[in-house]
Chain A
């Protein structure tokens, strides 16, 4: 028996761990445009991807980057781009194209202060609603958030897997703090992680119906050049991929897009719970703020406050059931976030009068500290 290799401890920043996650998940194509605080992802992939026969390409802007990764995915590659606020805004139209044509791809948005050029080197969480609703029209999408360097790896792998499994673009929200924090981590080996590859057609080409969902509601995906010639369009299309104006076909198509996600909510809505079993007061947090929240909960516990933390790893589809469970159980929930209150509104929306929900927002470009959150927990404890 071969001795098991000792797990390698590495000092990595969040952006580097995202690269490791992408490569482990099988990403072979990256297109991007430089922007702080996401540039390291491009820089490292420009070194790593060509080594293994993949492609890194720096495009003329983020619109082009998004177009290129969709084209690459349609040709069979797992593809990704990475950006920050201004670039994320530019990607929205083509992101919608990926939604309607069901093209798997991963978009990393390392959030910084906005709007506009905003605060290029400060962390923020103000793009949450844009990630959900940024492209026009009704559309399903998966949005995930990372809070630690290890998360950056795991969630990126997960993002590729969801994207491939459900043929949907997946957005990974990071922020400047996670992106540039260095931590010692042990990353899992390739054997230890699960990688999902899109299901390709295995029938004769004449039988292939490119936009007919299988039992999961997800169509099989052929790559250009595979011999399954078909049409891909951003117009609403029938199962053959041809534009349609028929209300019955439109209705069927739109509902299938949503159903393939809603049928699998349990698998997709990932959360982490800390000390929630007996909690009376809970924090609901995501991204780098979840780390401060974790710390705050520990401190509050030391003071005898029964506090807990629900960390959201999947932001959308919004993990309604998990949040509702916490709202039913606890007296109060505090939602700290580096935005004016985007996620707290979601929490309030699902809280049908079960408990008190308070936001704790910071929009001065500074990280929310454990002390701040702990103080809120103390206040809520005494009220």
Chain B
């Protein structure tokens, strides 16, 4: 193992936690955890000031392995807990990792409202297009006609484009990456964490066990190759026709805009409230 990697393992993984982890060999979740750790290390953030929250699912197991303040919440609700955390201690860097089902099915309401409300949080949505943990049922991100354990005859619903949904809902920073384009992913996470306001990175990932196998997409390697050949950089996509983009998805930064964050806005509310209280009782 390269020395750099060993150093990061020693610094960020929990040594008192019983390994091995719960993920299948080759699962994209590990690649994402690696990118997250490198991004945080690069940003020079202290472990004490990071909260890594998650919902329920394979993705939800990520926090337990890393030496931050970690919180494994209920299915779909990571952003609601994170909102409470950030409002009480705005100095904390709060990152919520969620699965596609977690974030956009059961947690869909919280997801759009967190984007709209603009609390300074970073959402990491791992989109493996399926419910991994519960055995391969279809999720809101499962493609049309795909097979899943609850769509034996082909899926008849259209998937959410998760990042685009976040753009429309008002998130300050929206990006999409994949577990194939790791360097890009790292830089997107860094930008998202640095951003003031609600930021989200959707990560296209492979669940070869519950999705790939059933849909003849092969193992991890084949699925990574599929991600490579179907991802188009945002700037390049602009020059492509809708026809050429069919079946493909964009990667890179989809939105980067400035709104006052909820934390800053609420500071203003506190000031107004104090001023009006002074007026009432001189």
* A residues lining the B interface (CB < 8 Å): 28-29, 31, 47, 50-51, 53, 55, 57, 59-61, 63-77, 79, 93-94, 97, 223-227, 229-235, 240, 242-243
Assuming the contacts A67-B80, A229-B47, A229-B69, asked whether A76 and B88 have C-beta atoms less than 8 A apart, the reply is yes
* Residues of chain A with a CB closer than 8 A to B110's CB: 60, 63-64, 67
Main secondary structure of the interface of A (DSSP, over half): mixed
* B residues lining the A interface (CB < 8 Å): 14, 16-18, 47-49, 51, 53, 63-64, 67-74, 77, 79-85, 87-89, 91-92, 109-110, 113, 266, 269-270, 272-274, 276-277
Residue in A29, A64, A227, A231 whose CB lies within 8 Å of B80: A64
Assuming the contacts A51-B273, A67-B81, A231-B63, asked whether A29 and B68 have C-beta atoms less than 8 A apart, the reply is no
**B80 & A51 in contact (Cβ 8 Å cutoff):** no
| Beta-carbon nearest neighbor of A28 in chain B | B88
* Residues of chain B with a CB closer than 8 A to A67's CB: 73-74, 77, 79-81, 83-84, 110
* Residues of chain B with a CB closer than 8 A to A224's CB: 51, 69, 71, 85, 89, 92
Main secondary structure of the interface of B (DSSP, over half): helix
Residue in B70, B83, B92 whose CB lies within 8 Å of A231: B70
* Residues of chain B with a CB closer than 8 A to A93's CB: 74
**A94 & B77 in contact (Cβ 8 Å cutoff):** yes
How long is the Cα–Cα vector from A53 to B90 in the complex, in angstroms? 13
How long is the Cα–Cα vector from A224 to B37 in the complex, in angstroms? 19
A68, A93, A97 — most chain B CB neighbours (10 Å) = A68
Can you sample 8 A-B contacts with CB below 8 Å?
Answer: A50-B269, A53-B270, A60-B109, A65-B80, A67-B80, A67-B110, A75-B89, A231-B17
CB distance from A169 to the nearest CB of B (A): 14
* Residues of chain B with a CB closer than 8 A to A61's CB: 109
* Residues of chain B with a CB closer than 8 A to A243's CB: 64
* Residues of chain B with a CB closer than 8 A to A233's CB: 64, 71-72
| Beta-carbon nearest neighbor of B50 in chain A | A229
How long is the Cα–Cα vector from A31 to B86 in the complex, in angstroms? 13
* Residues of chain B with a CB closer than 8 A to A235's CB: 72
CB distance from A356 to the nearest CB of B (A): 45
**B273 & A55 in contact (Cβ 8 Å cutoff):** no
A50, A67, A226, A240 — most chain B CB neighbours (10 Å) = A67
* Residues of chain B with a CB closer than 8 A to A94's CB: 74, 77, 80
* Residues of chain B with a CB closer than 8 A to A223's CB: 89
**A59 & B72 in contact (Cβ 8 Å cutoff):** no
How long is the Cα–Cα vector from A70 to B51 in the complex, in angstroms? 14
Residue in A47, A64, A75 whose CB lies within 8 Å of B85: A75
Assuming the contacts A55-B266, A71-B85, A225-B89, asked whether A97 and B109 have C-beta atoms less than 8 A apart, the reply is no
**B68 & A229 in contact (Cβ 8 Å cutoff):** yes
**B81 & A68 in contact (Cβ 8 Å cutoff):** yes
